């Protein structure tokens, strides 16, 4: 649904509504939230009803699983050399200090 909102340049606005309204995330509610944000309802509904982004979301989930992501948010802090990542994965909503402790040694 957020990708359908992005088609109308409202990704973050829609994102914020979803977090505010959870767990009320039925298809009917998603469509109403789109209307509430001023999205073109017909365009949004068609996108959602045809599962326009279903494969892209599945691909993203598979890619995340392949690198050990088990939930969101997930962040990676470290360095990349070719195809090799050297660092840590930070899972969940964590304080800034957690990121700072991992980033500072890399600077």
Return the pLDDT at 68. 86
- The overall average pLDDT reported for the chain is 94
Return the pLDDT at 83. 86
pLDDT exceeds cutoff 90 at 72:
no
**What pLDDT, in 10s, does the model give residues 21-55?**
988 899 999 999 999 999 999 999 999 999 999 99
Q: Where are the domains of the chain?
A: 2-60, 68-106
- What is the number of other CB atoms lying within 10 angstroms of the CB of residue 36? 12
All residues at 6 or more sequence positions from 10 whose CB lies less than 8 Å from its CB, including other chains? 37, 38, 39
């Amino acid at each position: 649904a957020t990708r359908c909102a992005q088609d109308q340049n409202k990704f973050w606005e829609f994102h914020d509504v979803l977090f505010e309204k959870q767990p009320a995330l039925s298809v009917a509610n998603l469509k109403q939230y789109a209307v509430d944000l001023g999205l073109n309802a017909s365009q949004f509904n068609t996108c959602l009803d045809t599962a326009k982004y279903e494969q892209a979301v599945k691909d993203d989930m598979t890619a995340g699983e392949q690198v050990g992501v088990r939930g969101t948010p997930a962040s990676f802090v470290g360095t990349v050399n070719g195809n090799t990542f050297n660092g840590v994965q930070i899972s969940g909503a964590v304080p800034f200090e957690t990121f700072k402790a991992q980033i500072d040694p890399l600077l």
